[in-house]
Amino acid sequence: MDNKNNVTFEDIFEQNKRRIHYHIHKLRINDPHQEFYQEALFAMWNAYKTYQPDKGIMSTYFNYTIHNRLIDLLRKKTREQEHEDVCVQEIGNRTYNSNRIRKNNTLIPDFTDIPIDDFSTLLWEQVRSLLTENQWKWVYHYIILNMSVKEIAEQEGVTIDAVKSQGKRVRKKLREAGLREMVRGLGDDLN
C-alpha cells in the first residue's frame, strides 16, 4: 500500500492508530496532554507522505519513524527539564546566598571613626527600645550575628517565611522611626 494507490491517510490512520499507543507505552511515556501522541501522529503522516514501496514494508517504516520521533521529543523534553532544574537551583542558591550578602545601603551605616564600644552600645539600646522581643531577636541574629534566614528559622523553630516577614516588619519600623537620623545623631554626640 502506498499513498499513490488512492489510499488516504485516514484509512492508514484507522489501520495503524494502535501503533502510536504501542510506542508511547513501550517507551513508558506519560502523556497527559497528548503531546507525544500528536508528535507520533505527525510522524505517521510524514511517513505516509514519504513512503517508497520499493524501499521496504510500510508498517516497518511507520514503526521506525514513530519510535524515533518519540525518542527525539523525549530527549528534548528531558533537556528542557534539566535546564529548568538548573535554573531553579541557581535561583534558589542566589536567594539563599543573598541572605548573607550585605549591600552598601544597609540600615546601619558604617561609622568606622567612632569608638565601637560606646557607639554600638548606645545604638543597640535605641534600636532595642523600638522593637518587640521577637523583632529584636531578628535584629540580633540577622544583623549582629550575621546568621542566614534559614539558620534563624531552624534555631527559632519557625518557617523561613516567618523570619522574612519579621525582617520586613523590623525594616519598616526602623525606617519609620528614622533610624538613619538617629544613628547620625548618636555619631555627632560621640564626636
Tens digit of each residue's pLDDT (9 = 90 or more) over 81-93: 888 888 877 776 6
**Residue keyed to cell 521529543:** 73
102: number of Cβ within 10 Å:
12
User: Do residues 58 and 51 lie in contact, with contact meaning Cβ atoms separated by under 8 Å?
Assistant: yes
Domains and CATH numbers, the chain: 3-98 (no CATH), 116-190 (1.10.10)
User: Do residues 20 and 42 lie in contact, with contact meaning Cβ atoms separated by under 8 Å?
Assistant: no
pLDDT at residue 84, rounded to an integer: 85
DSSP at 132: -
Convert 1-31 into a string of H (helix), E (strand) and C (coil). Answer: CCHHHCCCHHHHHHHHHHHHHHHHHHCCCCC
**Residue keyed to cell 519600623:** 173
User: Could you say which residues of the chain have pLDDT below 70?
Assistant: 1-5, 92-120, 180, 182-191
Q: What is the pTM of this model?
A: 0.44
Mapping DSSP to helix (H, G, I), strand (E, B) and coil, where does residue 6 land? coil
pLDDT digits (tens, 9 = 90+) for 75-128: 998 888 888 888 877 776 666 555 555 444 444 444 444 444 555 677 777 778
